[in-house]
Amino acid sequence: MHKPEGWTSFDLVKKIRSITKEKKVGHGGTLDPFAEGVLIIGTGRDTKNLSKVTDKKKPYQAVIQLGLQTDTLDTEGMVINKMPVPVLNHKQLENTLSSFQGIYKHKPPMFSAKKINGTRLYKLARKNIKIEREEIISKIYNIELNTFTDKLIDFTVTCSKGTYIRVLGSDIAKKIGTIGYLIKLVRTGIGDYKISDSLSIHKFESQWKSIEN
């Protein structure tokens, strides 16, 4: 499926459950509400195979807004900091991005669905409670610069599961000497599943109803 921007991953699960009347529906690999792109859905017995999907490599296309930072590291949050942006050049940005290739250690953001001691971090964040998080170790297989302006960086990255691209965007901005947050995030695939083959929820619904009829 192609999850639309503004939907949670569970919103899509609920919608598909409603359309198909399947009791058991799940997804493989959460996408943030502000993000869009490939989300693998399983129904019935196939939900058991979703764990195999989450282990696959995941390519993304992302855009970083430099000079500003939000509390969520994406467009869902409020701006909490401003900072000047240094003059950028192509070679410098290429080198900065390539420095993240390989093992990537980072902490999950407070605004995330990760559970610590049974509580999802975003629930604590909404109460302005910040707790210490252990580092996540993931892998960046490939990262490339697409385009840039004086305050925007458009890049693509292929990574392992457990990678928070919002944190990566913030870390890239820090390495440049400023701050930043993601204004766009598109998951363009999961393993062999490509975004070009994904169905919108509207197309899925119309196809499902035509089969039923």
- Domains in the chain: boundaries: 2-55+191-212, 64-153+161-184
Q: Which residue has the higher pLDDT, 116 or 192?
A: 192
Percent of the chain residues topping a pLDDT of 90: 79
- Distance set, CA 175 to CA 5, 81, 89, 95, 137 (Å): 28, 17, 14, 10, 19
List the CATH code of the domain at 64-153+161-184.
Answer: 3.30.2350.10
pLDDT band at 101 (very low <50, low <70, confident <90, very high): very high
Q: Considering only 46-55, 83-92, 159-168, 200-209, which range has the smallest mean pLDDT?
A: 46-55
Alpha-carbon distance of 162 to 150, in angstroms, equals 30
Residue 213 pLDDT grade (very low, low, confident, very high; cuts 50, 70, 90):
low
Of residues 49 and 179, the one with the higher pLDDT is 179
- What pLDDT does 52 receive? 86
Looking at residue 86, the DSSP 8-state letter turns out to be P
In the chain, the percentage of residues whose pLDDT exceeds 70 is 99
Residue 62 has pLDDT above 90, yes or no: yes
- The torsion angles phi and psi of 9, rounded to 5 degrees, stand at -60, -35
Q: Give me the mean pLDDT over the 166-190 stretch.
A: 98
Annotated catalytic sites, by residue? 32
State the fold for domain 2-55+191-212.
Answer: Pseudouridine synthase (3.30.2350)
Please state the rounded mean pLDDT for residues 98-110: 94
User: What are the phi and psi torsion angles at 210 (to 5°)?
Assistant: -70, -35
Please tell me the distance from the alpha carbon of residue 7 to that of residue 9, in angstroms, as a whole number. 6
| The CA-based dihedral angle spanning residues 21, 22, 24, 26, taken in that order and rounded to the nearest 10 degrees | -80
- 116-150 pLDDT per residue, tens: 888 888 888 888 888 888 899 999 999 999 999 99
pLDDT: is 83 or 55 the higher one?
A: 83
Q: Do domains 2-55+191-212 and 64-153+161-184 have the same CATH topology?
A: yes
Residue 59 and residue 42 in contact, taking contact as beta carbons nearer than 8 Å: no
Q: Which pTM was predicted? A: 0.92
3-state secondary structure of 96: helix
| Average pLDDT of the chain to the nearest whole number | 93
